[in-house]
Amino acid sequence: MIRRIVDAPLFMWVILALPGFRMTSTLVSGATGPDGQSTEEMLLHPSGESAAQIMVLAMMITPFRMMFPKNRFWAWMLKRRRHIGVAAFIYAVFHTVLYVVDMDSIRAMLDEFTALGIWTGWLAFFIFIPLALTSNDFSVRKFGSSWKTIHRFVYGAAVATLVHWIFVHNNVGPALARFIPLALLEGYRIWRTLNPKSLASA
């Protein structure tokens, strides 16, 4: 019974929607921040952070699978990786919409577009679009072996997201705290790929 609930697609969607429930309630209530932030401004950071964290989570699955090949949790996660990626995209859409609403001026948006912290955010968002649109069975079949190549662009989106986060806040700590674990895992993955023999001793 529990197994069936856990394996239902809805279960994963509900988990991925959890940060969204909180954000939606803030949006609906129209609450403002302690320093007088507008509702949009208050949700700007949490929405972007959720997008980044969920993207990082999706990217961690393969290296964790290599590290713990028999672990059933990561096998379960792998089956749902496309859902996780799409969830990251949905938070990124929400984040971008909040930004546009909060700016409320095309001119002001263009004016700051060249700031390193801003154009990297747009870049990550525009990389996300084709990845989200092709995260379905039909696209996997249609693109065949090139599907993986397309989806490797997520690494570009990850780097752009990291730079966006650091520079838009002028603060390195929180962004690195989320991305260093991923970098370590990718390092492990590269090391394992280069040293396939170490598998036996690991």
SS (H, E, C) 120-159: HHHHHHHHHHHHHHCCCHHHHHHHCCHHHHHHCCHHHHHH
Closer CB to other proteins, 7 or 112, in the complex: 112
| Binding-site ranges for other proteins (CB under 8 A) | 35-38, 67-68, 103, 105, 107-108, 111-112, 115-118, 167-171, 173-174, 176-178, 180-181, 184-185, 188, 202
Q: Give the residue with the Cβ less far from other proteins, 9 or 33.
A: 33
- Distance of closest approach, residue 180 Cβ to other proteins, in angstroms: 5
Reported as half-sphere exposure (CB side, CA atoms, 13 A), residue 21 has a value of 6
Q: How far is the CB of 127 from other proteins (least distance, A)?
A: 20
Residue 95 phi/psi, 5-degree rounding, is -60, -45
Collect all residues with Cβ–Cβ distance below 8 Å to 199 and sequence separation of at least 6.
192
Are 143 and 150 in contact by the 8 Å Cβ rule? The answer is yes
Beta carbon nearer to other proteins, 11 or 191: 191
Q: Pick between residue 149 and residue 201 the one whose CB is nearest to other proteins.
A: 201
Q: How far is the CB of 202 from other proteins (least distance, A)?
A: 6
CB of 120 to other proteins, least distance (A): 11
Q: How far is the CB of 24 from other proteins (least distance, A)?
A: 24
Nearer to other proteins, 122 or 143 (CB): 122
Going 110 to 40 to 19 to 10, the CA torsion angle's sign is negative
The phi and psi torsions of 125 (rounded to 5 degrees) equal -65, -45
